[in-house]
Structures are given as C-alpha cells and as structure tokens.
Amino acid sequence: MNPILAMRGISKAFAGVKALSEVSFSVEPGEIHAVVGENGAGKSTLMKVLSGVYPHGSYDGAIVFDGEERRFRDITESEALGIIIIHQELALIPLLSIAENIYLANPPTKFGVIDRGAVYRGALALLAKVGLNEAPDTRVIDLGVGKQQLVEIAKALSKDVRLLILDEPTASLNERDSEALLDLLVELRAQGISSILISHKLNEVARVADHITVLRDGRTVDTLDCRAGPVEEDRIIRSMVDRDLEHRYPKREPKIGQEKIGEVIFEVEGWTVFHPQDAGRRVIKGVDFQVRRGEIVGIAGLMGAGRTEFAMSVFGRSYGRHISGRARLEGREVDLSTVRRAVNAGLAYVTEDRKELGLILAEDIRKNMTLANLPAVAPGGIIDDMAELKVATGYRSRMGIRSASVYQETGQLSGGNQQKVVLSKWLFTEPKVLILDEPTRGIDIGAKYEIYCIINELADSGRGVIVISSEMPELLGICDRICVMNEGAFVGEFSAQDASQEKIMRAIMRNGEARA
C-alpha cells in the first residue's frame, strides 16, 4: 500500500541551531500514526513544516502527499488538500457559536450571503459525526475543554480532512474526555481518515496507534509497528530518552526533622469560597488543610472538584468572592487578601496554565525569572541589568534549563524548560510554601523526572510543597500524603504507604453518592 504521506530527509534550523536533522517517516491511508519524543525533540516543528506554517524553502527535504511532491507556501495550501492541524492551544473564538466557529473560514452562501440555515444544518450533522450532543448555536465559551476539542475536529471534518494532525489533544482533558476523543480517532480511522497523534501520554499512544515514530534531538530514532503486537511503554521510553528509567519517580526520602517530616508550616481552617459570578454558590466548603515543613502533599480529585479554585483563593484571593476562614504560616495568622501579601507572607503558586498565566512568552528568560520579585534586582526602583543577569544565569544552571542563553525568548523553549522558568520565577521569591498546579502537564517523561527531582529538593530544603495533579500515578509516586477533594470539600486522606488509585476513587465516588 502506498503511503498517503511521506516526509523525506526533513531538516530545519533556527539561528544556526538544528531543530530537525534528516527526519523521515510515512503515514499509510486510514491509520493512526503517533509521533513521540521529549520536549524539544522536534515534533511540533515537524508538523509545522508539514502543514505549511514553515513554508517550502525554509527547510530541506521533501514532502510527498498523495503520490506528489508538495511545496506548501502557507497553511491554506495544505488545508486545501485535506491536511488539517489542531494545535494544543485551540483556535476557537469563545464568544461565537459552535456553528460559527466550524464555518468561520468557509461558510456556505446563497446569492453571496451567508446561508445561516445551511450553517446550522451542516454543523448539526458534523456534531453528530463527532458525538457531541450540543446545539449548534451554543457559544464555545460555555463548553468544557473536552467538548471544545470535538468542535475543532468537527471544523476539520467540514474541510474534507484526509490527514488529521493532533498536537497533545488530551493534555488538558480528564480521563473520560480523553477516552471519548481516542474512541473518535478510532472511528475516523474506520472511515479511512489518517491521523498523526502527538502525545506524551504513552498509554494512550499504545492503545490507539498503528505505528509509533520516535524522535530524539531532532532525528528519527525508531519506528514501532503496533499491529505486530503490544508495544511496552518502557520500550518507547528507552528510545525517547536513550536510557532506561528503572523508576518513573525519584526515590523519596524526606530529610527534615527527627521524624523525617517537620512541624506544620502552613494551615487553613474553615476556608470557604463563593463563586465569582454566582454569589449564592459555595465552591469551597469550609475546608481544613495543612502541610508540614519538608512534606509533599498531593491534592487528588476529578475535574471540577475545586482543587485549582482552592489553591487560587488561598494565593491572594485570585479566585472567588466572599472568602472566609483563617490561614496560619509557621504558627502565625497571615493576611492573604492580595497576591502581593500572599507572596510577602511566603506563598508561591505555579499556575496550571503556564503559557497564559505563568509566563510572558514574548519576553526573554531573564525577565520572566525576576518578574515576581523585581525589588530584589531593582535598588532604588531601577532594574540593575547585571543583577538580573546574575540571578537568571544562576537559576538557568541550577534548574538545568536548555536554552541558547538567558536572553532567549521564553516562547521558543520546550514545555519542560518553560515549566522550569516558571518554577525559577517563584523560587526567586524565596517561598516557604510552594503550590504546584499540574506541574508536569504537557511535558515529556524525561522532563517530568527532572521536575520531580526539583520538587524533592524543594521539600528537602524545608519548604512545604502542595501538588495538584490529575494524574493519580504521579501523586502516588512523589507525595508523602494525598488529600482527596470532591465538590469543594476534602473527602479523604491517605499516607503514601496506604494510598492507591482504587482507594482514592472510592473516596471520591462514596462522597459523590452521599451527596446525590
């Protein structure tokens, strides 16, 4: 069978630095072909070459689609042939309806005027194809992230897609929405549509992929045929990182205090938060919570359980209204009424959305790192460039950030290195308690291990560390204690030795049934 796509000897450089070097791979008609690799391996760059984001002439090598060599000058030329890419950051307009988003670029018309009846009917048919039971006139802003992903796929189907490229499509989805999306890919495969799936979730890749191509340092290092038999995750990881990972998580040996974990460093009592728009709706319901010096405490729960809302409300009331309750740091009651007061008290919060809320992507690494504590590098109110350079260079070395220099634009870094810049920014404030919200979302297995080592070091230095994660194996692998949250309340607590995925889910479901 002739491949629908063949990329041959693709090389691409930025400012003399090779991002891709002689990469070759092919996709057969009606198959799901996964592309995996560490952050910075070249996956997204390769897809941008394929889709015309990087036009012909800016790279070396050849793209053959449908048996002919193609020289795309922009993304419209690749889309005209049915090559559609869905980026990790969805390209939807929140205040427009589903139907308007689907047909924004190519609406059906009658006598030169948009035919709104045809738009509605066409959207209805496409939503049925992707299994989304929503009215076409529903605004995108009123949908969850999982449903927004389905709208993106419906939009791709409206363009007669033949090769669908999905870049980390499940990174922001819960387990149920991820399963639904993967099932849809399998259905599209049955309809003869080919897909390229980029994902760091190797269990998902192994479940649906027909072939897996592994990139490392901008080169193709392996192609695995999943149809010949199950492919073990360890085999994929070895190809990705060029080493065995005997353990996914670093060994955890708390070092603070006589009993390994120290005294309570931070606690809240009766913490209650109301919804910022719906004044009568309690989002956080009188919770009590504490973390000890040198302890890593995980917060588990399903999407919508209130984990992020709790963390943001504690961090300077960044979320919610009519917030009540008491907070103590090192035994003293503290004022957390603003972000600045929370930072001055010794709290830091690493947001789950590093690109929108954690970083200024257009600024360099140096400026991002000092942003949360400018007075430390600005004596007399004027930034000392040399002091700022010294701080940034120190954290770049300490955190192992891979970049050309601290003057490199932060948006050019891989996800794992961006996350290290966010961590550096908050470590520069010298916090006593660090809240990490989805600290490894969207980063590869090798970068995850490095982040876990940094978390261990932070706890061993005497800080209290709170980790919010949707990946239960991650919490089980790195935490000393796990608190379970559901519907704005803590409903269970387990030590690391006693915790399991089954016990956590049982605590969630038991509480949910009791409230039903």
User: How confident is residue 172, by pLDDT bands cut at 50, 70 and 90?
Assistant: low
Query: Considering the chain, what is the average pLDDT of its residues?
Result: 87
Q: Please, which contacts does 119-126 make with residues 24 or more away whose CB atoms are closer than 8 Å?
A: 122/158, 123/98, 123/99, 123/154, 126/102, 126/154, 126/155, 126/157, 126/158
pLDDT tens digits along 96-150: 999 999 988 788 888 888 888 999 999 999 888 888 888 999 999 888 877 888 8
What's the pLDDT at 258? 43
Alpha carbons 40 and 416: distance in angstroms, whole number: 9
In percent, how much of the chain has pLDDT > 90? Answer: 50
Looking at residues 189-198, what average pLDDT do you find? 92
In percent, how much of the chain has pLDDT > 70? Answer: 94
Alpha carbons 453 and 203: distance in angstroms, whole number: 23
Q: Are 329 and 264 in contact (CB under 8 A)?
A: no
Instruction: Record the tokens describing residue 411, joined without a space.
Output: 């948006």
Domain ranges of the chain: 5-241, 256-346+431-516, 352-423
3-state secondary structure 146-187: HHHHHHHHHHHHHCCCCEEEEECCCCCCCHHHHHHHHHHHHH
The CATH number of domain 256-346+431-516 is 3.40.50.300? yes
Whether residue 278 is predicted with pLDDT greater than 90 in this model: the reply is no
Query: One fold for both 5-241 and 256-346+431-516?
Result: yes
What's the pLDDT at 516? 42
3-class secondary-structure state, position 419: helix
What's the pLDDT at 383? 92
Q: Are 466 and 482 in contact (CB under 8 A)?
A: no
DSSP letters for 315-379: TTT-S-EEEEEEEEETTEE---SSHHHHHHHTEEEE-S-IIIII--TTSBHHHHHHGGGGGGG-G
Class of domain 5-241: alpha beta
Task: Read off φ and ψ for residue 467, nearest 5 degrees.
Answer: -120, 120
Q: Are 319 and 348 in contact (CB under 8 A)?
A: no
Alpha carbons 318 and 313: distance in angstroms, whole number: 5
Report yes or no on whether pTM surpasses 0.85: no
What letter represents residue 136's amino acid?
P
Q: Which of 211-220, 234-243, 346-355, 368-377 has the lowest mean pLDDT?
A: 234-243
Looking at residues 445-458, what average pLDDT do you find? 86
What's the pLDDT at 514? 45
Whether residue 392 is predicted with pLDDT greater than 90 in this model: the reply is yes
What's the pLDDT at 50? 94
What's the pLDDT at 168? 82
Alpha carbons 140 and 285: distance in angstroms, whole number: 29
What letter represents residue 380's amino acid?
G
- Cβ contacts of residue 213 below 8 Å, gap of 6+? 25, 33, 34, 35, 36, 220, 222, 223, 224
Task: Read off φ and ψ for residue 237, nearest 5 degrees.
Answer: -65, -40
Exposure of 333 by Cβ count < 10 A (0-12 exposed, 13-18 middle, 19+ buried)? exposed
Q: Which of 258, 221, 223, 226 is nearest to 242 (CA)?
A: 221
Q: Which of 74, 137, 17 is nearest to 414 (CA)?
A: 17
